[in-house]
Amino acid sequence: MFDFDKELADLRGQTVLCIGDLMLDDFVYGEVTRISPEAPAPVIAVQRSETTIGGAGNVARNLASLGVRCVFVGVIGEDDAGRALTAALQAEPLIDARLVIDASRPTTRKVRFVSEHYSTHLLRADWELAKPVAKDKEQALIDHALEELPRVGAVVLSDYAKGVLTPRVTRMVIDAANKARKPVIVDPKGTDYSVYRGATLITPNRQELAAATRKRVDSEAEIVAAAAELAKLVESKAVLVTRSEDGMTLLVTGEEPVHVAAYPVKVRDVSGAGDTVAAVLSAMLAAKAGFEAAMRAANAAAAVAVSKRGTATVSVPELRGRILPAAALAAEEKVVFDWSLLDERLGEWRRQGLRIGFTNGCFDLLHPGHIKVLTAARPLCDRLVVGLNSDASVARLKGEGRPVQDAHARAEVLAALAAVDLVVVFEEDTPLKLIARVRPKTLIKGGDYRLDQVVGREQVEADGGEVVLVDIVPGFSTTDLVKRSRTAAKR
């Protein structure tokens, strides 16, 4: 019914305008093993911390991670948090930020303290001023939005009720977008949804839908009835209700409702999952996808986001792996495109005292030579990580016409092997950067290499590890296989 390969390929090159409440998200990770002697409060022994762009800015980050250019309009204070956000946005090549500085209000900042071992949020501290921006700042936001509107394919309003999306800003942007025939996606807040009148698609969660319509939303039938009332109130073409572990419900005016189940995943953190949904919906609609295709893509993206820690982003390969029926569904925990997930997996293994091994290659057409190296490598360690060259990397190394299979297909095949515990895609021509990240105790390569030719050998040995060369099966080469197949095809 949907050509998701084409739909996802069409995302690259799209541009989306995002307007909303920008935040600085801090995550402090550690372990709690005792109670403070000063007060009945847990003491967290801090192990690491992360600072990311949050709130509506996370919508922008998710758009950029999909290869979509984002024009972002928001407000910051004249403070350290605002300067940190400005620098972080400037470091994102696909985000074009139009920030309004308001010295009268602090930049919204949230600090979350998280148990590293249990992935449990212990405490959140907020710095914010939840009131509408001043009139002059309001006009500056409108001016930025209307100026950028002609060059975008869709508009997303990310409302966290911190004061950016005032009724006037919201009204001016929606009216201008409708006049320009640009779809408007709203991630709403509050209970008065009449301010979003005329939006193309509105995305409340189940609780927000109940509050906005004052209706019960326990069953699918009740959700559909409430969504229909909301669509009539807002005069929107569609309402998408996110239902956490129960999936999503889409109601398009004049059509039958569509319910989709949530993907079965290990939930690590739900922070920012709604931002990911809004980003994927807006990107898909900018690319002229239909509402149902956009919802199914957003549902898959939410599954990827909640399986990560912190305020997470989703890449096209990750999204494709969830959506398309393939071997990746059985081996979903074994393929990593986002290196933050790699860090998490490595951390779990190290806490268990497991020995980590590493090997790498293009693995364009898997043959017995590859299998021999991988099966010989596995007994040398407790967990085997395989570094896989990206498509661009293979093309640079192997030349025109390579790879024969894209990175996702190659990763799926590798992940299906019992000998492989994790497949990590890297963009560079050599795995040196990835080896530094993995810090393996055993580095394995085929016997067609000499020790002095093994990339990362000095690094691994300096870290107390070893390099092992294993025998290969002679007579097998991907390059030769490709040549023979192409020669046969010409006959």
> What per-residue confidence (pLDDT) applies to 480?
56
pLDDT digits (tens, 9 = 90+) for 411-447: 988 988 888 999 999 999 999 999 999 999 999 988 7
Are residues 160 and 305 located together in one domain of the fold? yes
Are residues 341 and 313 located together in one domain of the fold? no
> What per-residue confidence (pLDDT) applies to 330?
44
In a domain, 329, yes or no: no
pLDDT digits (tens, 9 = 90+) for 279-300: 999 999 999 999 999 999 999 9
**Domain tally for the chain?**
2
- Cα separation of 32 and 46, whole Å? 9
> What per-residue confidence (pLDDT) applies to 483?
60
Q: Is 96 a catalytic residue?
A: no
| Residue 402 clears pLDDT 70, i.e. is over it | yes
| 21, 275, 364, 391: the active-site residue | 275
Are residues 315 and 360 located together in one domain of the fold? no
Q: What is the CA radius of gyration of the chain?
A: 25
pLDDT digits (tens, 9 = 90+) for 236-267: 999 999 998 899 999 999 999 999 988 878 77
Q: Which among 379, 349, 353 has a CA at the least distance from the CA of 444? A: 379
Are residues 279 and 363 located together in one domain of the fold? no
In a domain, 267, yes or no: yes
347: Cα separation from own chain's centroid: 20
Instruction: Judge contact between 433 and 346, C-beta under 8 A.
Output: no
- Cα separation of 421 and 308, whole Å? 18
What DSSP letter does each residue of 141-207 carry, written as one string? HHHHHHHHGGG-SEEEEE--SSSSS-HHHHHHHHHHHHHTT--EEEE--SS-GGGGTT-SEE--BHH
Other C-beta atoms closer than 10 Å to the C-beta of 478 total 20
Instruction: Tell me the two tokens of residue 120.
Output: 């449990």
What DSSP letter does each residue of 75-126 carry, written as one string? EE-SSHHHHHHHHHHHT-TTEEEEEEE-TTSPPEEEEEEEETTTTEEEEEEE
- Cα separation of 205 and 298, whole Å? 14
- Which of 281, 300, 324 is at the close of a domain? 324
- Indicate the pLDDT class of residue 486, thresholds 50, 70 and 90: low
Are residues 117 and 141 located together in one domain of the fold? yes
Are residues 263 and 309 located together in one domain of the fold? yes
| Residue 3 clears pLDDT 80, i.e. is over it | no
| Residue 484 clears pLDDT 80, i.e. is over it | no
Are residues 101 and 239 located together in one domain of the fold? yes
Are residues 111 and 187 located together in one domain of the fold? yes
Query: What rounded mean pLDDT belongs to the chain?
Result: 89
What CATH number is given to the structural domain containing 459? 3.40.50.620
Adjacent-strand bridge partners of 45: 31
pLDDT digits (tens, 9 = 90+) for 68-104: 999 999 999 999 999 999 999 999 999 999 999 999 9
Are residues 67 and 153 located together in one domain of the fold? yes
Q: Which among 175, 178, 205, 201 has a CA at the least distance from the CA of 189? A: 205
Are residues 317 and 369 located together in one domain of the fold? no
What CATH number is given to the structural domain containing 83? 3.40.1190.20
- Which of 290, 324, 358 is at the close of a domain? 324
**More confidently predicted of 320 and 349:** 349
Q: Which residues contact 34 (CB under 8 A, 6 or more apart)?
A: 42, 43
Are residues 139 and 209 located together in one domain of the fold? yes
| Residue 327 clears pLDDT 50, i.e. is over it | no
Are residues 387 and 312 located together in one domain of the fold? no
Instruction: Tell me the two tokens of residue 48.
Output: 């690491």
CA angle in degrees (0–180, nearest 5) for 163-166-169? 125
> What per-residue confidence (pLDDT) applies to 287?
94
pTM exceeds 0.95: no
**More confidently predicted of 320 and 294:** 294
253: Cα separation from own chain's centroid: 30
Alpha helices per DSSP H over 316-441: 316-323, 339-351, 368-377, 391-398, 407-415, 432-438
Domain span at 357: 336-490
Instruction: Tell me the two tokens of residue 145.
Output: 């939005």
